[in-house]
Structure 1
Amino acid sequence: MKQKKSWWILVIVSLGVIIPFMAPYLTFNPAKSRAMITSTTLQYPILVTHIIFAFISLITGFLQFIDRIRIKNPHIHRYIGKIYVSSVFVSGILALVVTFYIKDFTKAVAFLTLAILWLFTCWKGYRMAIIKDFKEHRIWMMRNFGLTLVAVTARIFVPVLLLTYYILNGFTLPEGREKMIEEILNVNIWVGIVLNFVIVEWSIMKKEDNSTIRNNL
């Protein structure tokens, strides 16, 4: 089965967004961190490890949904799946720790919500695979990977949110450019969560409707 062109576009866009974001952290230099660092002995190593495992989750997640692997090579699918689940759990648990270093309440709650949902949906997907309920396994892993992609969506929509902020404030910056950017970065995670949730649930319902139609023919 040939993978859809839109899927490969998503892969390219996701890597194009995440790799530049991730690159400074691979220098292991706290001075290049995009997040405020208050502890170089604990916070920064945890943050870097979280980002690295999140990236592994992104890559292995894409591989999990390639039909040529999933359908024709199930043993490879299972092996990659174990790497994916392990990466999500490591990154997700570390994300919970990172939350305590975020000073802004709105951003901290968004990050905490994302981490909890990420861990929960991954556990549900893994659990469904263990009991061999593969239909539910696929549904829960779609939800989980949708949350994995929040890191991409939240960054892609920053320009849209900046424009929205500008329009809602009458094409002015009442509190300056820095305040605008600060407020946008406090809500972009929420936007990513909601948008990806809607897209994934719509995709799940569409697949179920198509399956019902085929069964009734």
Structure 2
Amino acid sequence: MAHATQPRHLRADAQRNYDRIVSAAREVFACDGAGASLKEIARRAGTGSATLHRLFPSRRVLLEAVFHDHVEELCAMAEQRAKESEPGPALFAWLRDLNDYAAGSRGFAASLLHDGRDADLLERNDGCQAKFTHATRELLRRAQEASAVRPGLLAEDLLALINGISLVTEHQDDNEQAGRLLDIAIEGIRLQGAKGCPGTGAESG
């Protein structure tokens, strides 16, 4: 897989190491946050620390590679939802995708927000905030034009909602609470009489 931050023209063996390190970093950052041990990431990737530092000269470079992957995958999901489902269900399914991502990686995302050292990864024009906002805005526009959700909502409102659910449930033992809270929120933004029930997975098409 090509990454925006990776060095160009890597040899095949170096590319394999690069991909293994990014994959391992996704898991470790999700569990332990952005300050997770780089040594542990190298161990899980099956490479030495020297290899990790050669391919990723700083923690920041590795964070950018992991974030880039998350953003590209989630935005591709948004496009797929729009193709597969009616406007309302497509938006609600996308919100569930974001909610699941936030729940699964909150140790990573929350640590950026709380620590602040790398929080600008969330704000960069080519980073997650701009791309998430654009993807959400397009789905929301279609849903509003189809009278599936309340008028007046902004994409930023929906992203703030997902972030709020993530922060509230971050330290809860109930892994399903985030989904239940999103069910309540979806019921609140849906126009009365619009198609699709609020139950988990009902909007996934």
- What is the TM-score with the length of structure 1 in the denominator? 0.30
- What is the TM-score with the length of structure 2 in the denominator? 0.32
Which is helix-richer, 1 or 2?
A: 1
